[in-house]
Amino acid sequence: MMLATVCVVSRDLSALQQSLNLSATIGKEEFFEDEPIYALCQLTNTGSDTAWLGRFEFMPGEMDLTLIRSDGAVVPRVTVWFDYVTDPSFRGEALAPGGRRFLLLVLQNRYGVEPRPGPRIFDKYIPPGRYTLTATFSPQVRSLPVVVMTPVSFRIRARTPAEDASFGDVARVMSLWWDRTQQAQYVAALEELADRRLTANAADPYLAYLLNEGVVKAAAAALPVDSARAGRLANLRVLTAFAQRARPSGALAAQAAFFGGAWNMRPTLSQRLGNSLAADVVRMHEARDLAYLKSRSIK
């Protein structure tokens, strides 16, 4: 079941009707402990005029995402800041009527407490319990009102024995990355794990994480990836995107595939993914690439 919530905020500014819709999709209402929680946030212009917006990024003052426990406590998060200077004449980024912007995040990458001693997969740990995800987006341009998202609620429960074995399988490979003395074995083990789990279960919840963040961690540690292995990892990303294309996890895998080289596919990756959530996310990136190429050709 796909879980989505929507909030619409509209305001008439000098006869220009701006209508922005902010929603979030996490795919389901219940997760097991240490299962990746893929959050996809979507901003849509539902009005009849172009909306001019500031940056749509996960950052306070822009797209501000907050996770709250059932007792009302705000879950700690890692805040990422980007400093930039904007030309005074900048009107903002255009979002045409019907246009959409997407942001994807694995919650445990930024939200939670320090992991407990023992096997770990993510940078942060979110304990079992009930949680609510809230968000606001500040357009920042032309004094447009802040857009507020209707909260999304979910539950994290303890793992079953089968889920515990699945977690342990992934944690053993991720431990190679955390242990610098074993990092040289990490990339080969990551590829083998993703390939094996995709073959066994194309809906595996860890696949998109392994093929996106798992590969990013290899690059962050400057671990070598030869062209043959890079090609195999890219293929695994595409296969995962197809298998999970209706879910936020598939959208993340598709995004990783696009930036990993699938941007030049013919037919395009979005065309291959058909009518799906993953295709919608990739289509946004394809449109941005096309706009960039057009701007370069004009110069």
Q: Are residues 88 and 198 in the same domain?
A: no
- In the chain, the number of structural domains is 2
Q: Tell whether 63 and 200 lie within a shared domain.
A: no
**Structural domain ending residue among the three candidates 105, 122, 157:** 157
Q: Are residues 199 and 116 in the same domain?
A: no
Domain that holds residue 139: 4-157
One-letter-per-residue 3-state SS of the chain: CCCEEEEEEEEEECCEEEEEEEEEECCCCEEECCCCCEEEEEEEECCCCCEEECCCCECCCCEEEEEEECCCCECCECCCCCCCCCCCCCCCEEECCCCEEEEEEEHHHCECECCCCCCCCCCCECCCEEEEEEEEECCCCCCCCCEECCCEEEEEECCCHHHHHHHHHHHHHHHHHHCHHHHHHHHHHHHHHHHHHHHHCCCCCCHHHHHCHHHHHHHHCCCCCCHHHHHHHHHHHHHHHHHCCCCHHHHHHHHHHHHCCHHHCCCCHHHHHCCCHHHHHHHHHHHHHHHHHHHHHHC
pTM for this structure? 0.89
pLDDT in tens, 118-152: 999 999 999 999 999 999 999 876 667 899 998 99
pLDDT score for 210: 98
Domain finish residue from 99, 123, 157: 157
pLDDT digits (tens, 9 = 90+) for 90-118: 677 889 999 999 999 999 999 999 998 99
Tell me the per-residue pLDDT of 48-73, one tens digit each, with 9 for 90 and over: 988 888 889 998 888 999 999 999 99
